[in-house]
Amino acid sequence: ATVAGAAREVTEETGLSPTALTVHPWPLTSTDAIHREADGRVAFHYTIAQVFAWVIEPEAERICAGDDAMAARWFSLAEVVGLRPDEVAGDLAHVIELSRRMQAAGMLPPIPEGN
């Protein structure tokens, strides 16, 4: 259910076809995103199940923002690392590094060439 939800969310947020996405069968880790009011009170708190996935290369160019997103685009790792905490949720740079280490250890499949 978690992985199916992640695939659905990607489709909703990016306009990519579900067939363009390959998702690893279980989440890698979970993180959270806590958004606060100006006075410091918690406005809302998300728990995020982080999954490993990739997009078939020709489809990647078709990314577009869903109706609940202002914009959608791909980021390089350097760009992700440079984002402020209020610009990205769920410690994304750490999750990317975790997935790279897991791939190197053979715990995740390699991403096919060209993707």
Q: What's the pLDDT score for residue 115?
A: 61
What is the three-class DSSP state of 41?
coil
What does the pLDDT profile of the chain (115 residues) look like in tens digits? 778 888 888 888 888 888 888 888 888 899 888 889 999 999 999 898 888 988 887 778 888 888 877 888 888 889 998 988 778 876 888 899 999 999 999 998 887 776 6
C-alpha dihedral sign at 34, 49, 99, 71: negative
How much is the pLDDT for 55? 87
Strands in 24-85 per DSSP E: 29-36, 42-50, 53-55
State the Cα–Cα distance between residues 56 and 70, nearest whole angstrom: 24
Q: What is the pTM of this model?
A: 0.73
